[in-house]
Structure 1
């Protein structure tokens, strides 16, 4: 009889308030699950996004003028060859090499010669004439033969046809980066200093040296040696 009474008991309908409360509860439940998953995904991706941001951050964009200004300021405090003269002074005041402690290869470093009143671009014992330091070429103290030997070449001057200074310049322009490094090592630069300089900088430096040598008449001496031999 009890079972029969249960089966025949009429079902209760939910009131409007109960329906609204149930709908609100379902909405909050579904919303909580949805936003929970979103938050979990965001937290999961955050470390990856941070790493990507750090990877792509890099340095800020600089114009050519800004980059040159930064390099100029850096040269005022750096001393690449460790001779006691900052790179800026060597480049723009004394016209010596910021990569060589002894630009004229006379056994006295640039610092000693500057502060003793001697010309750091003119070897001791040689008469370089009355020339302002700003007009001295960095190659003044290097003989033509030592240029060829320092460049790591085993060139027989008699075998090479040098008819004009331009022929000499063209020859040196064909020297590769390994021979340029050998030339700087032969001129007195240490391997530690040389390792700090990239190939592009060395090429620019060597090109400048060629130009100065050509203007100062060093290549005319090469032609004279060829004729003399």
Structure 2
């Protein structure tokens, strides 16, 4: 109850804050309020009103035309706010983009746990087309998961963000490989946030298991968690 009182006392000060509310400040407020919600029997109406105000300010001030925010806990929905006619619906299906990275990492670590791969496994050992010498020959699964392979992009890659033209990781990996062939960075020395790292890792998974990435997703995540049919991988 002390936490509830302390936060309620802050509500007037929060309400007096002027200017544009940033998405980072919104996230901070949301995390604090959700934490308090789990520790209090009931939320103050003033606190929920302040949260709604902050959500709407952040969303309306963002550069995105279509935005949805849904907040809740085990007891149900706490708040929802939508901006734009194309804002996602609660029950809608949509690409999750980079949110798929941690999902992919979970699947890959399951394969490590089951002995199909190790963090020291190399594309050069698993992928038949990976014939590079030099730094590219020393790239490991650990480097791919950490985005530290030394790879810094490939202008020829047609596999990133190509929705509506699904390709499997094994179809993408040879295209991505062109960017690895002549790289000069030693693995582990450069951080570069590219989807291509996980495409290569997923291709390794398909080779060692003989299963498609979608099958692996279903086996290790969707089925065990009881997720709906709308939760799936469809190529890249």
TM range (shorter): under 0.3
| Greater Rg over alpha carbons, structure | 1
Q: So what's the TM-score if we normalise by structure 2? A: 0.22
Q: So what's the TM-score if we normalise by structure 1? A: 0.23
Structure showing the higher strand proportion among its residues: 2
Structure showing the higher helix proportion among its residues: 1
